[in-house]
Amino acid sequence: MKEKLEALKIEALAQLEQVSDPQTLNDLRIKYLGKKGALTEILRGMGSLSAEERPVIGQVANDVRGAIEEIIESKQQAFQRAETEQRLRAERVDVTLPGRKMPQGGVHPLNKVIAEIEDIFLGMGYRVAEGPEVETDYFNFEALNLPKNHPARDMQDSFYVTEELLMRTHTSPVQVRTMQSMHGETPLKVICPGKVYRRDDDDATHSFQFHQIEGIVIGENIRMSDLKGTLLQFSREMFGSQTQIRLRPSFFPFTEPSAEMDVTCVQCGGSGCRMCKQTGWLEILGCGMVHPKVLEMGGYDPEKYSGFAFGMGVERIAILKYGIDDIRHFYNSDMAFLKQFARN
């Protein structure tokens, strides 16, 4: 039996030395050391040995097993090192190559304009207020001096959800909600940005959904001159320090007196061009002194307090500021158009 073990050792070591891949190594391990392997088969004959021979043969068998396991472990480690080195070579990064510039998004032009308008009015002491886009008829119309069946409601063709719920047609309801939340306290100075909805056909200048920013100021002795000074300051910060404004009489149910405000043309500076139709002026917003009924429904005594309000379309401001010729560009997700603003 001793001779068989020695012969097995010589055979196994010779074959293991020639192994060149992990699979063959594993096959030889099973062949010589497995439960049905060659070494196990030889050791089955241990029962026929005398008591004196068993320890000797056992020691030889352990030596044979140890020699075979040692070379198998050595080979396994060599294969693992080779695999690791191969993987490292495959995954190697050449740090001398120039870096790859990752594409970056940009702020949408409408969000840019909203943020700029907010910054201007925050600098004048206003705060930002927001409200629901699905609004009640009361806040959208009645509390703004537009009772049911009022003919001025036709100025804003609306999306109704129920008889009493609709998609808000302006952000003025936020003004009323803010007024009522103040419980008659002054001063009140807020701007109200957000989306609004009207049943308009989409074209170069109209959309069924657009953005507005409205503002309201309430206090004692608030005058039309305060409104004009505020809007002049806003216009000059938005369009340039040389900008002039003019107010033209108009009508809004929630202000009295009311006005449309124009600014000197951003393209020609007021000298007259195609953009301003040779007038030198561009209309950008509506404004006026808060109607006494609106003050009263907002929780303020119109005999003691007065206020002014204004509202502008964000798309209108953005079109003038960036020289855009079609409102639909803002919503078509045209990457060529949007990338112009990502660089700014």
- Give the residue ranges of the annotated binding site for Mg(2+): 256
Q: Which residues of 225-257 are buried (b: 16+ CB within 10 A; e: fewer)?
A: ebbbebbeebbbbbbeeebebebeeeebbbbee
Parallel/antiparallel/unpaired status of strands 127-128 and 188-197:
parallel
Parallel/antiparallel/unpaired status of strands 209-219 and 188-197:
antiparallel
Percent of the chain as helix, strand, coil, to the nearest 5: 45, 20, 35
Q: Is the distance from CB of 219 to CB of 188 less than 8 angstroms?
A: yes
Computed on alpha carbons and rounded to an integer, the radius of gyration of the chain in Å comes to 42
Q: Name every residue whose Cβ is closer than 8 Å to that of residue 33 and which is 6 or more positions away in sequence.
A: 39, 40, 65, 68, 69, 72
Q: Name every residue whose Cβ is closer than 8 Å to that of residue 68 and which is 6 or more positions away in sequence.
A: 9, 12, 13, 16, 32, 33, 39
Q: What whole-number distance in Å separates Cα of residue 84 and Cα of residue 106?
A: 42
Amino acid code (one letter) for 334: D
Q: What whole-number distance in Å separates Cα of residue 259 and Cα of residue 249?
A: 4
State the binding site: 256
Q: What whole-number distance in Å separates Cα of residue 116 and Cα of residue 137?
A: 31
